[in-house]
């Protein structure tokens, strides 16, 4: 039974249904936890980090030439430039398409600023075009030169959205879905069913690629209940009385069950996506520049636009960019373990985050959110924290809000001295560790194994889209999550 159903079917004498005591007005300056899923953060109470309605699928006619280029790439079934045995016909087709890209005028993007939805669609289309362009070029070409008709508007749109000019998780998952069958109108509006989703844009047009993206989309939708439980626990933590401890204990057990279901959904990707197809035919398309440092990506035309700067964040999409999973880490206090300096990279230093009392601190969620360019003062940023700079900016704000609570759950559990609460907390953390066990197995199956079969052992470690040693990275995060378990006092053993 989900959280909302649970709350509407409780007997009147159940402790979760007890009336709350009147503690008077909230102290001025106390964070309002009712905004945990508010419009300010673009987090919907029905669909979480995914939009409640299918994303925009077409830009207005002023930018139809971008849409036409993407349509042409999709219908032509462009081939990877480093694919073995590509025919002369396919090579000619790819070069003809890239020539069309180079001949396109640099379209003005000022009109896109009137709508966040237009900006999202523009980023999606331009980033997809760029990846088609980059990865259809033969691997013998030493450097990739991205022509101004793509590089300039993509950098401009990315600057408006405060995102890197590269495909992100939001382009592939959050804003890349539609209904298989439009549902009947209903009130209240219900979230899409997990089996009624399809993708709008695919590099290969295969079921394997679609199922790979949809596995993450289903996790995001099923995770909405986790966000509801987190909000309820934050509300209770502000009270902190015996009734609140009882409620939080029950909510934590419910959170563990939701995470268990997320693990099941993650493992089910194997039913629809073949590892060899993924590794050889799908994954190469969405690699970022960080995954192939031997070839530099050059964004042409910037000399005519002094406000634009050469980007430094080009890692490509990654499951590490899921705001839902980061939310679980932060809420449970696991981020101080899982978001360590493992595989750090030098990137622009993030500004300190202001707390409610006006002081400043360096938050683990304070990833760069303004400029993706070379600026004075760089620091080593952990990989998972870097991945937050690839999230929609409102979702980054959500994570900062979540991390800034003056009553962190983990601190409450440590200080409450309640054995049942401690056990429930460890159950939730253990469920998150099991989720990461499943992720380790997925990486082994989809990246490590195929890499070894392709002779990758002679070329170094199998890298993720962000340039990390993929297997060691997910192993490290999994092990660090396990380290977040709290010790049970000796007297309670």
- Binding site membership for heme b: which residues? 439
Strands 360-361 and 353-354: antiparallel
Smallest CA-to-CA distance from 8 within 228, 255, 186 is with: 228
Q: Please state, in angstroms and rounded to a whole number, the distance separating the CA atoms of residues 371 and 362.
A: 18
DSSP string, 383-431: HHHHHGGGS-HHHHHHHHHHHT-SS-HHHHHHHH--HHHHHHHHHHHHH
Q: Please state, in angstroms and rounded to a whole number, the distance separating the CA atoms of residues 389 and 421.
A: 34
Annotated binding site: 439
To which H or E segment does residue 74 belong?
helix 64-76
Q: Please state, in angstroms and rounded to a whole number, the distance separating the CA atoms of residues 122 and 116.
A: 10
Rounded to a whole number of angstroms, the distance between the first and last alpha carbons of the chain is: 32
Q: What is the DSSP letter of 486?
A: P
- Residues 197-226 as b/e (b if ≥16 CB within 10 A, e otherwise) read bbbbbbbbebebbbbbbbbbbbbbbbbbbb
Q: Please state, in angstroms and rounded to a whole number, the distance separating the CA atoms of residues 143 and 150.
A: 16
Say if residues 362 and 404 touch (Cβ distance below 8 Å).
no
* Coil/strand/helix, residue 346: strand
Q: Is 299 exposed, middle or buried (0-12, 13-18, 19+ CB in 10 A)?
A: buried
DSSP string, 176-194: SEEESSPPPP-SS--PPPT
> Positive or negative, the Cα torsion across 307, 308, 311, 317?
positive
């Amino acid at each position: 039974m989900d959280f909302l159903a649970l709350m509407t079917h409780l007997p009147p004498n159940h402790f979760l249904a007890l009336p709350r005591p009147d503690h008077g007005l909230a102290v001025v300056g106390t964070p309002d936890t009712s905004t945990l899923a508010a419009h300010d953060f673009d987090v919907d109470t029905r669909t979480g980090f995914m939009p409640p309605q299918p994303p925009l699928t077409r830009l207005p006619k002023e930018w139809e030439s971008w849409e036409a280029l993407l349509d042409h790439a999709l219908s032509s079934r462009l081939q990877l430039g480093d694919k073995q045995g590509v025919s002369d016909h396919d090579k000619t087709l790819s070069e003809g398409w890239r020539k069309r890209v180079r001949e396109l005028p640099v379209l003005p993007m000022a009109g896109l600023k009137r709508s966040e939805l237009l900006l999202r669609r523009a980023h999606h289309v331009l980033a997809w075009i760029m990846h088609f362009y980059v990865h259809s070029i033969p691997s013998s070409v030493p450097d990739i030169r991205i022509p101004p008709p793509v590089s300039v508007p993509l950098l401009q749109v990315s600057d408006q959205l405060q995102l890197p000019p590269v495909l992100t998780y939001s382009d592939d998952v959050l804003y890349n879905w539609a209904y298989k069958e439009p549902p009947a109108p209903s009130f209240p509006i219900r979230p899409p069913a997990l089996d009624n989703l399809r993708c709008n844009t695919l590099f290969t047009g295969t079921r394997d690629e679609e199922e790979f993206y949809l596995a993450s989309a289903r996790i995001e939708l099923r995770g909405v209940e986790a966000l509801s439980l987190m909000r309820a626990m934050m509300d209770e933590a502000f009270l902190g009385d015996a009734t609140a401890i009882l409620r939080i204990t029950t909510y934590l057990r419910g959170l563990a069950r939701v995470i268990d279901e997320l693990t099941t959904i993650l493992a089910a990707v194997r039913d629809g996506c073949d590892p060899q197809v993924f590794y050889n035919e799908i994954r190469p398309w969405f690699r970022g520049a960080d995954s192939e440092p031997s070839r530099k990506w050059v964004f042409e035309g910037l000399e005519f636009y002094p406000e634009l700067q050469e980007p430094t964040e080009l890692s490509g999409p990654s499951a590490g960019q899921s705001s839902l999973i980061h939310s679980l880490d932060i809420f449970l206090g696991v981020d101080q373990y899982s978001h360590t300096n493992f595989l750090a990279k030098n990137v622009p230093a993030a500004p300190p985050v202001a707390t409610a009392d006006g002081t400043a601190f360096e938050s683990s969620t304070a990833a760069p959110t303004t400029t993706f360019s070379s600026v004075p003062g760089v620091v080593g940023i952990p990989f998972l924290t870097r991945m937050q700079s690839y999230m929609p900016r409102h979702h980054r704000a959500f994570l900062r809000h979540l991390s800034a609570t003056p009553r962190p759950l983990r601190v409450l559990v440590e200080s409450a001295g309640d054995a049942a609460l401690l056990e429930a907390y460890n159950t939730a953390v253990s469920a998150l560790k099991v989720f990461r066990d499943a992720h380790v197995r997925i990486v082994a199956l989809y990246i490590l194994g195929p890499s070894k079969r392709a002779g990758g052992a002679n070329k170094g470690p199998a890298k993720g889209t962000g340039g990390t040693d993929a297997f060691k990275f997910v192993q490290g995060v999994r092990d660090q999550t396990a380290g977040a378990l709290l010790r049970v006092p000796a007297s309670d053993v």
